[in-house]
Amino acid sequence: MAKKQNTSNERAARAAAALAAQQKAEKRRNLITVVSVVAVLVLVIGGVYVYLTNLDDPADVAAAGAGEGTYGVTIGDDDAPHSLVIYEDFLCPYCGEFESATRTKLEKAANAGNVQIEYRPFNLLSSISDYSERSASAFFVVLDKEGPTVAKKFHDILYENQPSEDSETFPDNQQLLDWAVEAGADEDTVSDGILNESKKAFVAKATTAATDAGVQGTPTVILDGEQVSGSSVDDIAQTVIDTVS
């Protein structure tokens, strides 16, 4: 009888230990899940902060005027009465919004001789995806190999096909090459540079230059030497269009 009782006690002890271990493991899994969710929220909130930080509270940005930079593509005449510099990230949704709201009217204003515009892409959102860096590298390859006209078309195509920043997958380098060819680049000329990301070091320099200039978010829009502020991207876009049109 005593032996049976001991056996029963041992089984109960093992069962209790197994239950405790299971509860501990479940608690750990729940903790990991919570931490993971918090990490994602911090990333997303941090990203949104980066996008919005300079809308109605502009930083003190000391940027060279349009046509005077090293890391961008310029359209419009050197003697235009207005200078517009746009710091951007090809992954930034607010840059896409600004581009959509202004492209046609800004091109018209530049062609009319009213404004010179320099688009300066850099790598701001690498914490979300390496697409930010890869797309900028591809852009600088096209600019270097094919010149500003094709590079501007490629710039526009990148925004027309801009992925969501919360996508599970992002366009690969082959897709970037296809878009470059669509923009008018010779495939043999730009293929190696785009596929092998040959301008990553140049992107890093562009990013450092933007940071050193005081750029804290995207889009950062500098009109006639002053950063344009507003309560929304649409407000900033409208201010720019009203001034240069």
Mean pLDDT of 115-141: 97
Number of H helices, E strands in the chain: 8, 5
**Total Cβ atoms within 10 A of residue 19:** 10
Mean pLDDT of 3-29: 47
- CB-based burial, 145-172: b 16+ in 10 Å, e otherwise: bbeeebbbbbbbbbbeebbebeeeebbe
Q: Whole-prediction pTM value?
A: 0.79
User: For position 177, what pLDDT does the model report?
Assistant: 98
Helix, strand, or coil here: 139? helix
Q: Which amino acid is at 147?
A: G
Q: How confident is the model at residue 62 (pLDDT cuts 50, 70, 90)?
A: confident
Give the pLDDT confidence of 170-210 residue by residue, as tens digits. 999 999 999 999 999 999 999 999 999 999 999 999 999 99
Residues contacting 138, CB < 8 A, separation 6+: 154, 173, 176, 177, 180, 193, 194, 197, 199
User: For position 47, what pLDDT does the model report?
Assistant: 45
